[in-house]
Amino acid sequence: MGATSLGPWPGTDPVEAAKVSLGLFTAPHLPSLVDLPARGIGSDAIGRTAGMLVELPVDVQPYGWRFVDRPGNDHRRAVSALSTDINVLADVAGAEGLAPAALKLHITGPLTLAAAIHLHYGERALRDYGARRDIAQSLAAGLATHVAKVQAAVPGAALTLQIDEPEAARALAGTIPTVSGYRTLRSVSASELRQTWADFVAAARSAGFAHVAINLAAPLMLEQVSGPESDREERAVELTAWRKALELALESGIDAIALPLNNLDTGHWEQLAGAVESGVGVWAGTVPVRTGQLPPSYSALVERIMRPWQGLGLPVLMLDRLRITPETGLAAVSPQEARAILARTLEVAAALTDLRHA
């Protein structure tokens, strides 16, 4: 049974972050090239990935990231921060004797990137089919360069790509607002998203990734929505779209699907059971990430997995198709809390390993 984190780490010290990731997640676990959003512009999820785009420079405006004609300071900050993290990874792996056999990289996926970056005239790139296509192709081209740099830093490491797509459900549902906020953008079709993901996964493999996972944000249940009836109706549409996004992700040729377990219903678990039986792995977001709160006991978290697992009749021997993760990235908690969450993640993985071998 393996474990991993989802990438973001608190603080601004890349050396400490690299030491934690490489030190804790030794085989069979999966360390990450961590990122530090607290460093500011260019180290956030969107800016970090946008800096990888080929021939699509960006800068920051009051409303967010925007495509521009030529690279400026914001773009250079994003590129520099990522280069620093790769260089630090190489230094720590060499100096500490922690060269990993496998390493995970994570990026913001092409759909979410299109939802977050704005075109020259201010609207989100998600609005334009040509822009969506160009972003996916540009990012796919940038992956090859990214892989080459990381492979030089940790020679021989088998690379896994984590594609973060938290906006997939809203893009499919057509509930992402325009810049003005008075309307919503037209929904992206399921057929387009299926093709975009399939092409991007294939490009990632061509770039040198041994394994590819898509990471979806958790669906918010209707009972968690407060406010007018219109909000509940919108959430119901998004819940249906989230289930569709999960289906499309599982059809895209990925090796694993990553998602938090806290809001999954029986239907979601049935989808996951089908995936497990077909050979797709599940990165199970099990350990809550809460500021000021210790994570639940490992036994309670193991129960969160085993109850639906056994209820669906999945064999215990198939538990090795799970990889345990925190529910989300760790940037919002303190370094001490992050360490406690990762320790609990490893405890859950160890307990499930014991159950499988019992």
pLDDT of 265 reads: 87
pLDDT of 153 reads: 95
Rounded to two decimals, the pTM is: 0.95
Domains along the chain?
2-357 (3.20.20.210)
pLDDT of 7 reads: 85
End-to-end CA distance of the chain: 13
Q: Give the C-alpha separation, 228 to 248, whole Å.
A: 31
> Comparing C-alpha atoms, which of 343, 358, 357 is closest to residue 29?
343
Whether the Cβ atoms of residue 150 and residue 83 lie closer than 8 Å to each other: no
What are the structure tokens assigned to 307, written together?
Answer: 């109850």
Q: pLDDT tens, position by position, for the chain (358 residues)?
A: 899 999 899 999 999 999 999 999 999 999 999 899 999 999 999 999 999 999 999 999 998 999 999 999 999 999 999 999 999 999 999 987 888 999 999 999 999 999 999 999 889 999 999 999 999 999 999 999 999 999 999 999 999 999 999 999 999 999 999 988 889 999 999 999 999 999 999 999 999 999 999 999 877 665 555 566 767 788 888 899 999 999 999 999 999 999 999 888 888 999 999 999 999 999 999 999 999 988 999 999 999 999 999 999 999 999 999 999 999 999 999 999 999 999 999 999 999 999 999 8
> Comparing C-alpha atoms, which of 6, 1, 68, 30 is closest to residue 210?
30
Q: Give the C-alpha separation, 104 to 143, whole Å.
A: 13
pLDDT of 327 reads: 95
Whether the Cβ atoms of residue 66 and residue 60 lie closer than 8 Å to each other: yes
pLDDT of 356 reads: 92
Please give the C-alpha separations between residue 15 and each of 103, 156, 162, 188, 342, in angstroms, as whole numbers. Answer: 16, 21, 22, 40, 18
